[in-house]
Structure 1
Amino acid sequence: MVSTVPALNTDNLSQLRLEIRNLQPQLVEWRRRLHQRPELGFKEQLTAEFITEKLKAWGIEHQTEIAKTGIVATIEGHQPGPVLGIRADMDALPIQEENQVSYKSQHDGIMHACGHDGHTTIALGTAYYLANHRQDFQGIVKIIFQPAEEGPGGAKPMIEAGVLKNPDVDAMIGLHLWNNLKLGTVGVRSGALMAAVELFECTIQGKGGHGAMPNQTVDSIVVAAQIVNALQTIVARNVDPLESAVVTVGSLHAGHANNVIADSAKMTGTVRYFNPKYAGFFGKRTEDIIAGICQGQGASYDLNYYSFYPPVINDSRIAELVRSVAETVVETPVGIVPECQTMGGEDMSYFLQEVPGCYFFLGSANAEKDLAYPHHHPRFDFDETALGMGVEMFVRCVEKYCSKQQ
């Protein structure tokens, strides 16, 4: 039986201006259309067409096909002023949706399981509102619809294509709908919000043989097991205990029979940390440990180590701007979560390396409506009341940043 999300909780929309409250049904419609047609990174053709269709209808200047499917909309205020960038990601995940809702994904094996359909919708709603209220802000707002956040990463190629230039962006903001926070809350902090993401793949080459004659072999599984344990000492003994970091071996594959010593073993894993000073450190330390254990055991190795995304570091001034705006949209003080951090990663980090900015979390979970499944879960969904709240947050940030006080 197909169900629909229950009626919106209008209490959470009480702080929104009337025009945005009236836009809420349209936001829900846009989001559900996007949810039904999810697309993977750099393949967001239908999504880009939908965005372009709306921007054209509203008379908003925009560029398309940036880093394949990216779009930048430019909205000028009533007079010159600062340039504020707003970023929204568009891509989905290779997950089979298990929700039984009227707007369930129509693309087999692909699902918006992280809220990017909501991010795109909020950015569209913001563009619509600003285009109709240019008299309320100065300067320029550049809304960046970015592909491939889930991988391999669309922020960097968009920056390389010049989206922060002509005119030059002075500051950036962005949000992530966050099912780790309940609806009606905002997670915002200065400094590190999300972690750096580094990945590794390693093949241990031993010497296979009979399980009853280990003296004739170099057991790749024993070597790999020692490596897995030793990698945990990087955080335990090499990282400042006042810092946060994670080393995870996520997979280990070796052998096919119970009486055969495996010739090789392959492991993959990830490293996370907040402090940029550790860039390059974990890769070197990981290889040192692997090399030392392999040498001691008579094995060899092949290691590939990738720095995927840097940490998301918020500028204190822009974070304070977002926090002050959040205080006018959600109930305070309980609605503001100042120390909200996650070891998850985000390529918004590349934008924040180029210009000062703030990425923040907008609470979207509602357990009473069974809308509290975690991100990347096949039953992930969120309370769509957050859509209007996101538009209100962005609009108020624009009005406050792009004003005579800046």
Structure 2
Amino acid sequence: MQSTETISLKQMLLATLENREEEMIQIRRYLHAHPELSFQEMETARFIEKFYEGKDVDVQTNIGNGFGIIVTIKGGKPGKTIGLRADFDALPIEEATDVPFKSKNPGVMHACGHDGHTAYMLVLADCLIQLKEDLHGTIKIIHQHAEETPPGGAKSIVESGILDDLDAVFGTHLMPAFPTGVIGYRSGFSMAGRTYFKLVIKGKGGHGSSPHQSNDPIVAGAYFVTAIQTIVSRRLNPFEMGVVTIGSFDGKGSFNVIKDSVELEGDVRYMNEESQKVIAEEIHRIAQGIELEFGVGCELTYIPDYPPLYNDPAVTANVVSILEQANDPHIQEIIEIPVSPASEDFSYYTEKIPGTFYNIGCKPKGVDKPYLNHHPKFDIDEAALLVSAKSVAHVVCEYNHNEGLPVSDASG
């Protein structure tokens, strides 16, 4: 059974969040209108820093390899130390929505919901600061830069050591694939790891009428594209997930000229490091084989970006239990969702710290088929901001007060 103390703290926190919902929305709209790309989020970071000015809290800036900000809230009562992460970078996308707070920065858009993550987290953090004397443990708010662009911001923040004292870490993501009020979770490996690769094939140029006097890198590149598609079907365990994609084949030139070189870029996804190892070995082997087969030179760049995201089963089960027993009218359904082939640099936190990352439904009202994350017409139901804030508030109150143990509802 929850203690009266916990109920009182949580009730005050939830009520305050509800009263400040409009503030979350206005912050989100301001950030949406002023997006900044990964590693360039100077003004966004200043906005966040200014929000905390004059508040009784420790703020550390320029954490990691960019504009990361850590806000440490020390509660007045004993408890665990937990981290709450919200990212704040945008994408190189020209916005195609018609909202009045449309991006003012050409070619840059908050097309993944990071404006919403930051908006709810700022208000939640402020509420926690106001109630910190009644709060158990310590909470570190992780305002993270550069989630979208490798090497990302999370890895450098973890490597800084500033989070070494965390007992658990939590993150959320807005997702219009399901309605507002629905929260989606996945225990264990939940999102794929990602690798970037580039292959430059150098041949010998010449006239299109005399291919025997040249060495055509386009033919070699076309063979490479075909050959790597056999990796997943013939080299991976059939029960393991893997994706190999060529996203760019730069071979443009004159119709009757054989080029000297071509450049290909691609993307690899996998759910565990063993699959990553197999795919890496095969791509290197195929590139070497093309050199021998076609007499060309191959320069392969192969850079693992983000590891697979692992949600700690015990922490995830605890969070699911807390949210299912919350009896919160804004949290209507908790569902288990499939493994996602997308990637997230939150994975660097859970490589080192037990934690979980869950999705918040934000499907715009009246829309049957919403535009998903990274689309120029991406949009959210702003009511999901309060759902995000309240879900994390439930977790903070219950997890810390009960030292990470499953809890029963107040009527238990």
TM > 0.5: yes
Structure 1 position 209 matched with structure 2 position 213 = no
Task: Give yes or no for contact 1:255–1:263 (8 Å, CA) kept in 2.
Answer: no
**Residue 273 of structure 1: which of 270, 281, 293 is its match?**
270
Residue 339 in 1 paired to residue 350 in 2? no
Determine the C-alpha separation between the residues in 2 that align with 1:233 and 1:292: 14
Q: Which runs of 5 or more structure 2 residues have no equivalent in the other structure?
A: 1-12, 405-412
Matches within 5 A, 1:29-44: 29-44=26-41
Give the Cα separation in 2 of the matches to 1:234 and 1:30.
46
Aligned counterparts of 1:192 and 1:145: Cα–Cα separation in 2: 24
**In the alignment, which residue of structure 1 is the partner of 2:72?**
74
Q: Secondary structure at the match of 2:301?
A: strand
Query: How much is the aligned-residue C-alpha RMSD, in angstroms?
Result: 2.1
Determine if contact 1:330/1:336 at 8 Å carries over to the other structure. no
Give the CA deviation at 1:193: 1.5
Equivalences for residues 180-191 of structure 1 within 5 A: 180-191=177-188
Query: Residue 83 of structure 2 contacts residue 166 of structure 2 at CA under 8 Å; is this kept in 1?
Result: yes
- Offset of 1:258 from its aligned partner? 1.9
Residues 362 and 28 of structure 1: is their aligned pair in 2 closer, same or farther, counting only changes over 3 Å? same
1:251 aligned residue: 248
Q: CA deviation at 1:315?
A: 0.3
Aligned residues: 389
Written as runs of structure 1 = structure 2, the 5 A alignment for 1:43-58 is 43-58=40-55
2:196 aligned residue: 199
Q: Distance in 2 between matches of 1:23 and 1:255?
A: 54
Closer, same or farther in 2 for the Cα pair 1:332/1:101, shift >3 Å?
Answer: closer
Query: Match for 2:277: what amino acid?
Result: G
- How big is the shift at 1:135? 5.1
Match of 2:155 in 1: 156
294-303 vs 156-165, greater mean Cα deviation: 156-165
TM-score (norm 2): 0.89
Give the aligned residue type for 2:401: S
**Matched letter for residue 270 of structure 2:** Y
Q: Is the 8 A contact 1:219 1:261 kept in 2?
A: yes
- The amino acid across from 2:266 in the alignment is G
Q: Secondary structure at the match of 1:381?
A: coil
Instruction: Report the counterpart of residue 312 of structure 1 in structure 2.
Output: 309
User: CA 1:225 to 1:110, structure 2 compared with 1: closer, same or farther past 3 Å?
Assistant: same
SS of corresponding position for 1:230:
helix
Say whether the 8 Å CA contact 1:174–1:358 is kept in structure 2.
yes
Residues 156-180 of structure 1, C-alpha deviations (whole Å, 9 max, x = no match): 1212222203xx0111000111122
Shift of 1:256: 1.3
The residue correspondences of 1:84-95 to structure 2 (distance < 5 A) are 84-95=82-93
**Cα distance change, pair 274–329 in 1 and its aligned pair in 2 (3 A):** farther
Structure 1 alignment gaps of length 5 or more: 1-15
Q: For residues 18-43 of structure 1, what are the alpha-carbon distances to aligned partners after superposition, in whole Å with 9 as ceiling and x for unaligned?
A: 33221111110111111111112222
Is the contact made by 1:27 and 1:387 (CA closer than 8 Å) also made in structure 2? Answer: yes
The answer for the alignment partner of 1:359 in structure 2 is: 357
> Quick one: which amino acid aligns to residue 324 of structure 1?
S
Q: Which residue does the alignment assign to 1:6?
A: none
TM-score by length of 1: 0.90
Structure 1 residues 249-276: Cα deviation after superposition (integer angstroms, max 9, x where no partner): 0111214122222322211000001113
1:315 maps to amino acid: D
Distance change in 2, residues 1:269/1:367 (3 Å):
farther
Instruction: Please list the CA deviations of residues 65-110 of structure 1 after superposition, one character each: whole Å capped at 9, or x if unmatched.
Output: 2233111111122312110101111111122222222211122221
Which of 279, 282, 290 aligns to 1:285? It is 282
